Amino acid sequence: MSGLRNTGLILLLILLGGCASVPDQPADPSDPLESYNRKVHRFNQIFDDMILKPVAKGYKAIVPEPIDRGITNFFNNIADISSALNNLLQFKLSRAGSDVARLTVNTTIGILGFFDVATNLGLPSYKEDFGQTFGYWGDDSSPYLVLPFLGPSTVRDAVGLGGTIMTNPFLYLNNDPVYWGLSAFDTVDTRADLLSAGKLLEEAALDPYIFIRNAYLQRRRNKIFDGSPPPNPEEEDIWTDESDTDAVDDDSEAATPQPIIRQSAPAPSQ
């Protein structure tokens, strides 16, 4: 279920952008599929406006807040299964141990995870996924990709989503209606939890697509490097020395290097 939980966080970004005219902009090397991605982004907006957001609002209206919080805790508890495995694959043994301890405590004392007892006991939640694992082992700058219905992703994270699905215990119930029902329930619950954040993006971004893309890529890079990413060459100022291309008289001052400023991604909301 962690894929769907991540999908919900992603949906916060996809679904909220309004229609906006897009000015001509230079191609971004992190987004070689921008033309395709914008079309899918717009499709996802329409899907959210017509179906997902109304359903989420109805869910929020009829489900009491304590029950809503318990349902969110339940799906977060399931996500700790995949997180523990991915921490092992990254040789982060202490984090994997924390995930296993969280899963054990919340499944038993927390009644299948409806109560987040582990957090109160000081066990942190890491929520690692297969996209982060691929990034840890070198694929840390994958091209941006918008997935139909699922929203912002990268080629790396889209491949990793397959691993997330395979580690979902509900997949092995041999009961498709239960699996798809729980998956839909997780998505609606997540979308309902994010309803209040909608106006923020609408007011903050002149071009919601670029805002979403930059926020997603920076957030994922931050998670891959556990909050301490190395400098990203694409986000640094690049200096060119005019003396390399223009002749300078011996008596004149050396040409001053001129900066070429590249827009860096805005810091994502936490």
Structure confidence at residue 91 (pLDDT): 97
- What is the share, in percent, of the chain residues with pLDDT greater than 90? 60
Sign of CA dihedral 188, 194, 199, 202: negative
For the whole model, what pTM was predicted? 0.74
Calculate ∠ Cα 125-126-130, nearest 5°: 140
Phi and psi based region of residue 93 (left: phi greater than 0; alpha: psi -120 to 50; beta: remaining): alpha
SS3 131: helix
C-beta separation of 212 from 17 below 8 A: yes
Q: Which among 128, 130, 126 is positioned nearest to 161, based on CA atoms?
A: 130
DSSP string, 178-202: HHHHHHHHHHHHHHHHTGGGHHHHH
Residue 26 reports pLDDT greater than 50: yes
Rounded Cα gap, residues 66 and 116, in angstroms: 12
Rounded Cα gap, residues 186 and 196, in angstroms: 18
pLDDT classification of 233: cutoffs 50, 70, 90: low
CA atoms within 13 A on the CB side of 29: 8
pLDDT classification of 31: cutoffs 50, 70, 90: very high
Greater model confidence, 228 or 146: 146
219-238 per-residue burial string, b: 16 or more CB within 10 A, e: under 16: bbbebbeeeeeeeeeebeee
- What is the share, in percent, of the chain residues with pLDDT greater than 70? 73
Residue 259 reports pLDDT greater than 50: no
Rounded Cα gap, residues 209 and 22, in angstroms: 9
pLDDT classification of 77: cutoffs 50, 70, 90: very high
Residues 206-220, mean pLDDT to the nearest whole number = 90
Structure confidence at residue 21 (pLDDT): 38
Greater model confidence, 157 or 18: 157
Residues 13-42, mean pLDDT to the nearest whole number = 69
Q: Report pLDDT digits (tens) over 118-159.
A: 999 999 999 999 999 999 999 999 999 999 999 999 999 999
Greater model confidence, 101 or 194: 101
Domain spans of the chain? 2-19+30-224
Structure confidence at residue 194 (pLDDT): 83
